[in-house]
Amino acid sequence: MSRIERRFAQLKEEGRAGLVVYLVAGDPDPDTSRALFEGVAEAGADLIEIGMPFSDPMADGPSIQAAGQRALKAGTTLRSTLAMVRQLRARDPDTPFVLMGYYNPIYRYGAEAFARDAVAAGVDGAIIVDLPPEEDAELASPARAAGLDIVRLATPTSDEVRLPAVVGHASGFIYYVAIAGITGTRSADAASVHAAVARLRRFTELPVAVGFGIKTPAQAAEVAKAADFQPRSRRQGKARPRRCGPRRHPCPRGGCPRRPPNLTGAPGSLFLDSHLFFT
């Protein structure tokens, strides 16, 4: 069982939605970036998306664009990103790490070499935003051989004709893009997310992550209600303790006593995005 599968099984057992945290690798500099990734894992992220900086991020708004530019100016490359993942994995054997970005850096690196080196570094999956199912065999085939999950994206315009192609040969989970637009612009509508996740369920048994347009804690809670389909804790009327960090220690609702203090003092220019995912 992979780390992603184990984490989703744990969420199902705990009867709750999970939290995915996204940061751009190398932003604002390599040392700070690594410390932040270590911090969000300790603070309780259930899965971490590691953004691969790219000069032309077509699906991203100004915040992630700026984060990517800072990382590139600091010298971040795909090779250095994998080196950072190797360091993170040495500290944290449990949290799933998923690389997210665009295909050009992988194409230059070499798809087969990328899949091999990513798995060796401790990466569990990849989300390639600009690589549609019809064009992803060049990466998907060596990824499957290496044990790297390829996470496919569904959108509000993915209808019942399109969805079989989207979910076919996907692994890890399905990423549902909750808005028709770039990151950091519109907000997702909980009712629309509910309908979209229900539609996806008819085509796949994979877990579903919801991203893009989740901006506030209150909105995240509403989206979780829409897509959780009566988790066990809610049916039983009991709140389950949130589990934080790589060892998933119980965390009180008022705040985690082990939350790294350096997160609250992170540079204001840093970009952090978060998503929800559901079992």
Residue 242: what pLDDT? 45
Residue 108 lies in a domain: yes
Closest listed residue to residue 5, CA positions, set 88, 84, 85, 94: 94
* Domain annotation covers residue 187: yes
The whole domain housing 53 covers: 3-233+268-278
- For residue 93, how many other CB atoms are within 10 A of its CB? 9
pLDDT of 149: 98
pLDDT of residue 5: 94
In degrees and rounded to multiples of 5, residue 13 shows phi and psi of -65, -40
Report if residue 178 sits inside a domain: yes
| Domains: count for the chain | 1
Query: Is residue 246 assigned to a domain?
Result: no
Q: Which residues lie across from 273 on neighbouring strands? A: 22
In a domain, 225, yes or no: yes
Give domain status of residue 240, yes or no.
no
Within a domain: residue 243?
no
Tell whether 249 is covered by a domain: no
CATH for 85: 3.20.20.70
CB neighbours of residue 30 within 10 Å: 18
CA distance 174 to 277: 9
What type of residue is 135?
A: E
Active site residues: 49, 60
**In this structure, is the dihedral angle defined by the CA atoms of residues 119, 124, 127 and 133, taken in order, positive or negative?**
positive
| pLDDT value of position 70 | 96
pLDDT, residue 235, reads: 31
pLDDT tens sequence for the chain (279 residues): 899 999 999 988 988 888 889 999 999 999 999 999 999 999 999 999 999 999 988 888 788 899 999 999 999 999 999 999 999 999 999 999 999 999 999 999 999 999 999 999 999 999 999 999 999 999 999 999 999 999 999 988 888 999 999 999 999 999 988 866 655 555 666 778 888 888 898 999 999 888 877 777 877 777 776 543 222 222 333 333 345 554 455 554 444 544 433 333 333 333 334 554 444
**Strands (DSSP E) found in 213-261:** 242-244, 249-251
Tokens of 109: 């690196």
Sequence-ordered list of residues with C-beta below 8 angstroms from that of 138, at least 6 positions apart, any chain: 111
